[in-house]
Amino acid sequence: MAATRSIELRTEIPGPRSREILERKARAVADPLVVLLPIVAQEAHGVRLTDVDGNTFIDFTAGVGVLNVGYSHPRVLEAMREQLERFVHTDFTVVAYEPYVELAERLGALAPISGPVKAGFFNSGAEAVENAVKWAKLYTRRPGVIAFEGAFHGRTYLALTLTSKPHPYKTGLGPLVPEVYRSPFPNTYRGPDSLTALAALERLFLTQVSPQQIAAIVLEPQQGEGGFLPAPPEFVRGLRRICDDHGIVLVADEVQTGFARTGRMFAMEHFDVEPDLLVIAKSIAAGLPLSGVLGRAEIMDAPHEAAVGGTYVGNPVAQAAALAVLDVIEDEGLCDRARSIGEVVRSRMEAWQRTYAPVGDARGLGAMLAIEFVQDRDSKAPAPDLATAVVDEAARRGLLLLKAGLEGNCIRVLCPLVISDAELDEALDVWEASLAVVLSA
Ligand code: PLP
């Protein structure tokens, strides 16, 4: 049976209505809020997004990894509606509600952390990262934090300080938060290897700060914005050992990797290493703003009363959505599905790597995969322009792609995990055709 075509293009891209709204956007919206793709959304379901000109795209960006259960999942919409009609807000720390407690219970049971686990909820990934560090500082009574080269943890001041890339995020914003130290992250394509990266961290303890001053090491189990670099298992095990040796809290930032994206509910499960704190956001609530910190009860209970909180933290509608997201992940087997999507995408990416010299690397865990573009295989000099050209060509053909990487030379997969086999094949064919146009030119 012929695969149904999901992509349907009725105008040139961008179409006239998208163009007009984006012109208005340029006049009314502050310039730093750049829009990466030249279309304006009208509605979206599953993996398909239709723009205001009636063009339907397959969306591999999914709001930057927020829609693992897809756009507008009926069960999630129903849960949101039900809660919306009951009440939208009380401030949980003034009047409590059950969805908050139930979500804490369910996520506590799912977190790859043994012993009693407690939770706190927030709005954005950055806010949850900030709070994880507060928990670690108030538990250890130490000032320092270690983050890695290539890390992305958000844009608020502490999260921004933990974020590695100076431009565009940090330029002109200093001074940043003190007592943040940076160490190399392993990269199987470019180096360093895990041993070298761990040695650099040990050296940091010798040359820059004593480990007794460090409250937390903050790790992305697979770097997201930094270029979809999975942490090698021996590196994560080495970090756990260092944290145990020195009483440092290991914080796993699973904002992008969580909720089945890598083929496990949480990416830390790939390594058989338990973090002390786990930061979650993005796909937790299928698009409503919600984030959280899960962690060992001993750490989570350490701060004094009201040391963490906020008016909107743990919105009940978002939490009702999150409970439905967990049901969908479980009932629709999305961890298994992420693994099978990953196998299909990986084999196509490896074929592209064999065919095209500028496709230097293909990597990632489960359905969190990327290809990296280089000018040539020997120098491995980054080729961000090629990545941009492929993204642009794919958009013109109906596939929405997103770049990643410190040098912007990777293209990543963050498609909803509810994608059908036919949609996946169609999207990969469009990606392949776009590569052929750009790389054969
Ligand atoms: N941590 C990671 C690993 C992320 O990928 C991001 C966002 O991309 C953040 C934190 C920040 O999340 P937010 O944009 O919700 O503040």
Alpha-carbon span 330 to 265, nearest angstrom: 9
For ligand 1, residues with CB inside 6 Å are 64, 124-126, 129, 152-154, 220, 224-225, 253, 255-256, 281
Alpha-carbon span 244 to 250, nearest angstrom: 9
Considering the entire predicted model, what is its pTM?
A: 0.98
Rounded mean pLDDT of 351-377? 97
Distance 220 CA to ligand 1 centre (A): 10
Alpha-carbon span 168 to 146, nearest angstrom: 21
CA angle 274, 66, 229 (to 5 degrees): 50
| DSSP letter string, 96-158 | --HHHHHHHHHHHHHSS--S-EEEEEESSHHHHHHHHHHHHHHHHT--EEEEETT----SSHH
Distance 153 CA to ligand 1 centre (A): 5
- Sequence letter at residue 212: Q
Distance 346 CA to ligand 1 centre (A): 25
Distance 279 CA to ligand 1 centre (A): 10
Residue-wise pLDDT tens digits, 182-230: 999 999 999 999 999 999 999 999 999 999 999 999 999 999 999 999 9
Distance 225 CA to ligand 1 centre (A): 9
**Token digits of residue 23:** 């012109």
CA angle 214, 220, 225 (to 5 degrees): 125
Which residue in the block uniquely carries the two structure tokens 């009483």? 247
**Token digits of residue 95:** 């009047």
In the chain, the domains with their CATH numbers are: 16-59+333-439 (3.90.1150.10), 74-331 (3.40.640.10)
Pocket probe mutation, ligand 1, options 169, 280, 282, max atoms within 8 Å of Cβ:
282
* pLDDT value of position 1: 42
* pLDDT value of position 390: 98
3-state secondary structure of 65: helix
Residue-wise pLDDT tens digits, 46-62: 999 999 999 999 999 99
Question: CA 294 from chain center: how many Å?
Answer: 17
**Token digits of residue 390:** 């492929």
Q: Which of 431, 346, 423 is nearest to 395 (CA)?
A: 431
* pLDDT value of position 55: 98
Residue owning the nearest CA to atom 12 of ligand 1: 125
Task: Flag whether pLDDT at 301 surpasses 70.
Answer: yes
Task: Flag whether pLDDT at 117 surpasses 70.
Answer: yes
Instruction: Give the count of beta carbons closer than 10 Å to the beta carbon of residue 423.
Output: 21
Q: How far is CA 28 from CA 36, 132, 327, 375, in A?
A: 17, 36, 40, 39
* pLDDT value of position 3: 53
218, containing H or E segment: strand 214-219
Task: Flag whether pLDDT at 240 surpasses 70.
Answer: yes
